[in-house]
Amino acid sequence: MSALDNLLNDLVIANRILAKEDVVDAYGHVSVRHPDRPDRFFLARSLAPEFITRDDILEFSLDGKVVDPNEKRAPYLERFIHGGIFESRPDVMAVVHAHAEDILPFGLTGNTPLRPVIHSGSFIGSNVPVWDIADKFGDTNLLVANVEQGQDLAKCLGSANIALMRGHGFAAAARSLIEVVRMSVYLPRNARALWRAKQLGGEIKYLSQGEIDARNRGYSPYSVETWRAWHYWATKAGVGKLVTRPTDPKAGKAAAKKPAKKAKPARRKK
């Protein structure tokens, strides 16, 4: 498999994991930047993530246009979320937009900012801004339906990893597919832990900035620990057989861009 094939294969896996882990349902989507053309990204056609295969993935320019002029299938309405973030953040390689239920309350009230309280939630970062589409665009249907709205969301996101979207959901941006999936799975868990702790009362111990930094420093998408979750989630989602692993686990982020021999997935013994 070429590096690009490998990446698109991972995008299929990412879709299935997000569906299985209840981050997306009929709605929500995940994209990845083109490894060789930073002005392009890949995103599925308008279809529930649980059903997505390689054939459903389309190539887009950053203004949300489908590259292939012969493509007749409808794209996602909110592809401008992805385009806007890829445009403003050259460091970002993968984006998720979803409506995961347990994060919604934190976008509805200014009372409690969503911040990391558990170690697996550290990657959401110490600042999770809330974007309210009404601030700039007034009364809309709340969907990010054009380039300008996507850019405004990206502006609110700034250099953060996650932006909550008031009354709607969230957008997550990361350096790799594995990382953006991981962040999207742990974001609702961190939200639940915080929501429950608030009800116990008393002062809450958030992760310190130093702890968040320490976790970021140690993170590698191909470490044994990170890979364990990716393989586990993919297997649960029924696509364990699609999982491939770069030959050199130390290659880290770069690995996704190089041709990698198909490694044998860790097989479940019977």
- Which of residues 69, 90, 202, 264 is near a second copy by CB under 8 A? 202
In the complex, least distance from residue 128 CB atom to a second copy, rounded to whole angstroms = 14
Residue 46 interacts with a second copy (CB under 8 A): yes or no: yes
Q: Is 148 among the residues known to form the active site?
A: no
Residues 6+ apart with CB under 8 A from 24: 15, 18, 30, 48, 49, 98, 99, 100
- Which of residues 3, 8, 147, 266 is near a second copy by CB under 8 A? 266
Residues 209-248 that bind a second copy (CB under 8 A): 210-211, 213-215, 217-218, 224-225, 228-229, 231-233, 235
Short-list 201, 154, 192, CA closest to 173: 154
In the complex, least distance from residue 14 CB atom to a second copy, rounded to whole angstroms = 15
- Which of residues 69, 90, 205, 264 is near a second copy by CB under 8 A? 205
CB-nearer residue toward a second copy: 27 or 40: 27
Q: How far apart are CA 190 and CA 207, in angstroms?
A: 11
Q: On the CB side of 243, how many CA atoms lie within 13 Å of its CA?
A: 24
Q: How far apart are CA 66 and CA 246, in angstroms?
A: 30
Q: How far apart are CA 5 and CA 176, in angstroms?
A: 15
Residue 201 interacts with a second copy (CB under 8 A): yes or no: yes
**Which residue among 21, 78, 87, 179 is the active-site one?**
78
Residue 264 interacts with a second copy (CB under 8 A): yes or no: no
